Structure 1
Amino acid sequence: MKSFFKIFLASFLALVVLCVIIFFIFIGFVSSLTSSEKGKTGAKAVLVVDLGRTYPEIGVENPIAKLSGNDDADLPSLYDVVRMIRYAKTDTAVKGIYIKCGSNGNAMGASQEIRNAIIDFKGSGKFVYAYGDVISQGGYSVGNIADRVYCNPKGGVDWRGYAIQLAFVKGLLQKLDIEPQIFYAGKFKSATEPFRETSMTDANRLQLSVMIGDFYGRFLQQTAEARKLDTATLHRYANEYLIQHASDAVKYGLVDGLKYDDEVREEIAKKLGGVKLDKLNFIGLQKYANAVDFRRDGKDKIAVIYAQGDIIDGKGDRDMIGSITYRDLIRKARLDKNTKAIVMRINSGGGSALASENIWRELTLARKDKPVVVSFGDVAASGAYYLSCNADSIFAQTNTITGSIGVFTLLPNMQKFFNNKLGITFDGVKTASQADMFSATKPLTPAQKMFLQNSVDSIYLTFKERVAQGRNKELDYIDSIGQGRVWSGSRALQLGLVDRLGGLEDAIATAARMAKTSDYRLREYPEPHNVLEAIFGGYEKDATRSAMQKELGEDGMKTYQHIKRVKQMVGVSQARIPFEMSIE
């Protein structure tokens, strides 16, 4: 027995020692992740702006990858990118910017904010170079402002113009014996067209033609100004498809020369005073973020609340705008006496009408206590416009997709699909005549259809009333520019749907002026995850996404996302733009 206790106590002591060692290792691990020690920029640095990366409204942290010394493990937010570029303007260690513009993972609104920041940087007299093997139109929309634009001799510049293509599934649903029961308000409300039509309606074709024309016209105008050409000539290049090879891009003045990446780097090295190629100090955005203090500091607080993704009822996650989560964030900023103003940054195509109403309510309450300014990103339409329409001031980019004041709901009738295709039938009991109204296993009655249409019409009326009140316009006028129609930011300004053109930085400056403060810092929400949440929560999400991506592929993942959105739409009144609209 004594021998047993001696072995037990020795084992227990060893376990305790092991736990203590693991604990201190973990503390050291956490400390390394949260260390405030800054890195170094180094001499004669060239800041690399990689447009191929998609910069989200809310930055992404990857603490596991950080341990391997990967400076690009994290993904800075769009506003962090803008702030770093502006900081680099006066940073003596940074001599220029190198734009990797082969592809562009950022939509038009985000690209405009990055472009504007680089234009401001050029005011310092420092150089800007842009390079891509094959330069996409999105990449060129930012890269064209560089002092020198180069592409690969065997690459080229994509110069075909813009196009929007939508997919329609009405024929598929007919083959499957699935009837989409659709109710909508607004002749331009085209989010349900893929289910009820086989091609664009005239109204949808009109709104998209006008909008894409605005976007393309802006692209041609900015290119003409940057490259000292005229818009008519640039348009002819696309119509006649004159830019087919890399040499054509030089011939017609879109790029300054054809070089390989190493040749561009050699030219930059010479510009820096003959730096050896292997000593060229190219610094990525995340490494630069770890080396400098680019965030503003001051006495007063201005709350900046980032909202991206679909608008849903409940809490959601960081890629969704959950009504409960954002109601609480706005309320927290409203009740904080040290917070002098609220800026809400929105990048969303809309979603649940009720969730939008709840967030609208909280922003309206906040406006009574302090200035509320809204900044639109790539898209802020339908439900996203709904929740923000009562702000003191609304900013949009010229290429922001906005408006879409309209409502819809849908409920599939899958009775014939189950009966005829699968051989499944349904039966049941109920305590009231309408208890099973939202069942997908039977068609709606005429009375039920009337109820749903009346509900949609009622929500649409409330939507218009909210906009009319917030924008100080007549209800009939809002109806005339509403009807579910989407607008570019520039047209939204003309129509009175937004107040000014500009980015998040402009919105923050306006909020500060309204709050009568120049000595302020930003308090940004949602707040960063703590270390454990970042490690385990992020790992779980990334692992799930990676597994699905591997099995489904890129197209399969897009289909999966479509199915998720359709599921969110079913039986819920939606204020949402078309769920898939890619401009190429």
Structure 2
Amino acid sequence: MKQFLLTMAGVFAGLMLFLVGVPFLLIVLAAGASRPEPVPARTVVELDLRQEITDQDRANPFASFGQPTLSVMRIITTLRKAETDDHVRGLLVRLPESGMAPAMADEISDALRRFRKTGKPVIVFSQGLYPSGATPSTYMLAAAGGQVWMQPGSSLQSTGLVSEDIFLKRFFDRYGIQADFEQRKEFKNAVNGYLQSDYTPAHREATQAMLESIYGTAINRAAADRRQTPATLKASLESGPLMAEDALRLNLIDRVDYLDSARKQLADRAGKDAVFRDIGAYARSVLDLGPSMGPAIAVIAAEGGIVTGGDGGANPFATEDAIYSDLLEETLNDAVEDKDVKAIVLRVNSPGGSDTASEQIRRAIEGAKSAGKPVVVSMGPYAASGGYWIASGASAIVAQPTTLTGSIGVFGGKFAVGEALARFGVDLRQVGVGSDYASAFSLGSGLSDTQRAAFARWMDQIYARFIGRVSEGRRLPVERVEAIAKGRVWTGAQARELGLVDQIGGFYDAVDRAKALSATNQELRLKWMVSESTPFEAISRMFGISATSARSLAATAWILGDPRAEAILDEMAWSRRPAGSAAVRTQQLAP
């Protein structure tokens, strides 16, 4: 017995060493490796957009292990610092070969235009732009940089914008899987892929209008930067695919040459012994400088799906962040209690999530406003559905013209897999007590007529509550909100015309708005208040998982028996919400 206990103690000690000691060592080594270095006297900052880009810095301390990411917020704040840094003599931007999320491109484009006004040289270099996602927005970003170079023999294929959706109804019918959902209302298309075999008229109308708005923004902004009419630029781009040499002839780019030539030109402009410094390394050297005391605007980040509670059930190695209602409420309350904070900028990038979590956060925003601290929401690529529920209570909303917002609607339901399992000799049976509704969200069969009627009434109540919150927060008549809601996604430009957004602009425009709303004439610094876990808190969550989600996922995966189903199942199980809960979430447009 003694030997057994000693063995178990050893196993436990080894496990703890692996789970705690190894990550801790990695963090210490990473911290030492990333110690800031002085900025050389003649520095050219290099911004490589070919890597994965998030809107905000990852809150999860383990999310980026093995796959470094760069955030839009890190880029624009670093470029703002580089504008006035005499050590920085130029900027080299490397374009991705595929599309970027349109609002990300808008935000970075604004930063490039501002940087160019300093007179410091900028070269945007491309090895080709291919029709994968929102390439017009990527070309717009290139045009904002001034000089656009392309490698000889590369291709410019930015001929339009297409959204392609997968519809699974016939697939589900074949395998006996029933997607049983309620939507409020006809434009709430997040689950249409499970319910339909093609676009509904409303789905097609909203998607077409959204694409036209995004495309129009990209063309108009790029045309202004290239000093062409939108019609001329549009015709040139749509005449593609173009080789780099053709793009030069059409005045879409400025030079056909290689990367080493671009580097040499920037180095010559910078002066003798010029050094190229990656934007991440440069950021570590300069962004911590500045006052740490005095009146401030609190900056709070919120990115990902919206879920209730803290982050106690999250996977510490997940590659995507989430907005935890308890954590964000706590951070907002901290800003309220901080006597230095005069206003708050809440950066939101979210396709939505739990209605109750969204309401919890909205109430915290109302509390901040009641305490005399205005809250300005700066919208990233997405602030839709639950993300808009949060934003609707703000003092003001600032969005990029291509931000996807609105989606004022709700959906809920389940997947019934009883028939599919029966085909393989697996039978689901139940025993229960209480009303008929107790079994509404079992896996075996779809909703009965009485269950559906009760569920539909509940969905109507949530939708009405959402409408009411938007009406109250935006000071719009309920009838007006009902007319523009219906689950429809709008771009920021469209939302501004509808009264859902106050101003078109980026993060620093939201900062200026917050300064204007604060009751002070003092100079205000930015105070970043981060809702995140420590590495040890992340480790402690390692084994958290939703039993309901796991059960549904395992059953469906067993039926399909195909690794390609993983991508489909990932969207089905996007949150930790319990069966039967409502979701205020919108469909996302792939970059």
Amino acid at match of 1:366: A
Q: 1:338 aligns with which of 337, 340, 343?
A: 340
After superposition, the Cα gap between the structure-2 partners of 1:217 and 1:176, relative to the gap in structure 1 and judged at 3 Å, is same
Deviations 1:251-295 (A, max 9, x none): 21111121111122222233334x4xxx54111111111222466
SS at 1:358 equivalent = helix
Partner of 2:222: 223
Partner of 2:211: 212
Partner of 1:378: 381
SS at 1:438 equivalent = coil
Amino acid at match of 1:383: G
Asked whether 1:571 is paired with 2:575, we answer: no
Q: Please report how far the alpha carbon of residue 35 of structure 1 lies from its aligned counterpart in structure 2 after TM superposition.
A: 10
After superposition, the Cα gap between the structure-2 partners of 1:395 and 1:338, relative to the gap in structure 1 and judged at 3 Å, is same
How many Å separate the matches in 1 of 2:68 and 2:445? Answer: 49
How many Å separate the matches in 2 of 1:426 and 1:374? Answer: 49
SS at 2:405 equivalent = strand
Amino acid at match of 1:467: V
How many Å separate the matches in 2 of 1:301 and 1:238? Answer: 45
Partner of 1:281: 275
Partner of 2:261: 263
Q: Please report how far the alpha carbon of residue 78 of structure 1 lies from its aligned counterpart in structure 2 after TM superposition.
A: 2.3
Partner of 2:244: 246
After superposition, the Cα gap between the structure-2 partners of 1:30 and 1:427, relative to the gap in structure 1 and judged at 3 Å, is closer
Partner of 2:187: 188
SS at 1:207 equivalent = helix
Amino acid at match of 2:306: I
Partner of 1:8: none
Question: 1:237, 1:243 within 8 Å by CA — same for their partners in 2?
Answer: no
After superposition, the Cα gap between the structure-2 partners of 1:30 and 1:230, relative to the gap in structure 1 and judged at 3 Å, is same
SS at 1:134 equivalent = coil
Deviates more, 1:474-483 or 1:311-320: 311-320
Q: Please report how far the alpha carbon of residue 143 of structure 1 lies from its aligned counterpart in structure 2 after TM superposition.
A: 1.5
Question: 1:296, 1:520 within 8 Å by CA — same for their partners in 2?
Answer: no
Partner of 1:177: 176
Amino acid at match of 1:576: R
Amino acid at match of 2:307: I
Asked whether 1:507 is paired with 2:510, we answer: yes
Question: 1:512, 1:518 within 8 Å by CA — same for their partners in 2?
Answer: no
After superposition, the Cα gap between the structure-2 partners of 1:469 and 1:64, relative to the gap in structure 1 and judged at 3 Å, is closer
Amino acid at match of 1:521: R
Partner of 1:7: none
Amino acid at match of 1:565: W
Partner of 1:115: 109
SS at 1:268 equivalent = helix
Partner of 2:494: 491
Question: 1:430, 1:436 within 8 Å by CA — same for their partners in 2?
Answer: no
Question: 1:243, 1:249 within 8 Å by CA — same for their partners in 2?
Answer: no
Q: Please report how far the alpha carbon of residue 320 of structure 1 lies from its aligned counterpart in structure 2 after TM superposition.
A: 0.5
Q: Please report how far the alpha carbon of residue 533 of structure 1 lies from its aligned counterpart in structure 2 after TM superposition.
A: 6.1
How many Å separate the matches in 1 of 2:565 and 2:149? Answer: 35
Deviations 1:385-432 (A, max 9, x none): 011201111110011000111111112222211223443241424244
SS at 2:439 equivalent = coil
Partner of 2:555: none
Partner of 1:10: none
Question: 2:60, 2:321 within 8 Å by CA — same for their partners in 1?
Answer: no
SS at 1:154 equivalent = coil
Asked whether 1:87 is paired with 2:81, we answer: yes
Gaps of 5+ in 2: 1-20, 315-319, 545-560
Asked whether 1:390 is paired with 2:393, we answer: yes
After superposition, the Cα gap between the structure-2 partners of 1:32 and 1:438, relative to the gap in structure 1 and judged at 3 Å, is closer
Deviations 1:110-156 (A, max 9, x none): 22111111111111111110111113524322111233211111212
How many Å separate the matches in 2 of 1:436 and 1:37? Answer: 57
Q: Which has the larger radius of gyration?
A: 1
Question: 1:312, 1:352 within 8 Å by CA — same for their partners in 2?
Answer: yes
Deviations 1:412-459 (A, max 9, x none): 222211223443241424244432222121232211100111111111
Gaps of 5+ in 1: 1-22, 542-551
Partner of 1:19: none
Partner of 2:359: 357
Amino acid at match of 1:445: S
Question: 2:336, 2:368 within 8 Å by CA — same for their partners in 1?
Answer: yes
How many Å separate the matches in 2 of 1:118 and 1:107? Answer: 17
How many Å separate the matches in 2 of 1:46 and 1:553? Answer: 49
SS at 2:526 equivalent = strand
Partner of 1:50: 48
Q: 1:127 aligns with which of 121, 127, 135?
A: 121
SS at 2:241 equivalent = coil
Asked whether 1:581 is paired with 2:589, we answer: yes
Partner of 1:434: 437
Deviations 1:481-516 (A, max 9, x none): 100111110111111001111112221222223222
Q: Please report how far the alpha carbon of residue 326 of structure 1 lies from its aligned counterpart in structure 2 after TM superposition.
A: 1.6
Question: 2:385, 2:585 within 8 Å by CA — same for their partners in 1?
Answer: yes
Amino acid at match of 1:196: L
Amino acid at match of 2:525: R
Question: 2:152, 2:257 within 8 Å by CA — same for their partners in 1?
Answer: yes
Deviations 1:307-331 (A, max 9, x none): 1111112224570012222222222
Asked whether 1:523 is paired with 2:521, we answer: no
Deviations 1:58-111 (A, max 9, x none): 424999999xxx9x9965542232121111111111111111013367422122
Question: 1:180, 1:412 within 8 Å by CA — same for their partners in 2?
Answer: yes
Question: 2:307, 2:323 within 8 Å by CA — same for their partners in 1?
Answer: yes
SS at 1:165 equivalent = coil
Question: 2:184, 2:486 within 8 Å by CA — same for their partners in 1?
Answer: yes
Partner of 1:160: 159
After superposition, the Cα gap between the structure-2 partners of 1:77 and 1:582, relative to the gap in structure 1 and judged at 3 Å, is closer
How many Å separate the matches in 1 of 2:446 and 2:67? Answer: 51
Question: 1:131, 1:151 within 8 Å by CA — same for their partners in 2?
Answer: yes
User: What is the TM-score normalised by the length of structure 2?
Assistant: 0.83
Deviates more, 1:554-563 or 1:394-403: 554-563
Question: 1:242, 1:248 within 8 Å by CA — same for their partners in 2?
Answer: no
Amino acid at match of 1:40: P
After superposition, the Cα gap between the structure-2 partners of 1:293 and 1:336, relative to the gap in structure 1 and judged at 3 Å, is closer
How many Å separate the matches in 2 of 1:83 and 1:468? Answer: 34
User: What is the TM-score normalised by the length of structure 1?
Assistant: 0.84
After superposition, the Cα gap between the structure-2 partners of 1:331 and 1:64, relative to the gap in structure 1 and judged at 3 Å, is closer
Amino acid at match of 1:228: R
How many Å separate the matches in 1 of 2:430 and 2:267? Answer: 77
Q: 1:561 aligns with which of 552, 561, 570?
A: 570
How many Å separate the matches in 1 of 2:583 and 2:67? Answer: 37
Question: 2:61, 2:533 within 8 Å by CA — same for their partners in 1?
Answer: no
SS at 1:582 equivalent = coil
After superposition, the Cα gap between the structure-2 partners of 1:45 and 1:538, relative to the gap in structure 1 and judged at 3 Å, is farther
After superposition, the Cα gap between the structure-2 partners of 1:336 and 1:199, relative to the gap in structure 1 and judged at 3 Å, is same
How many Å separate the matches in 1 of 2:463 and 2:100? Answer: 32
Amino acid at match of 1:455: W
Deviates more, 1:312-321 or 1:354-363: 312-321
SS at 2:113 equivalent = helix
SS at 1:366 equivalent = helix
After superposition, the Cα gap between the structure-2 partners of 1:104 and 1:526, relative to the gap in structure 1 and judged at 3 Å, is farther
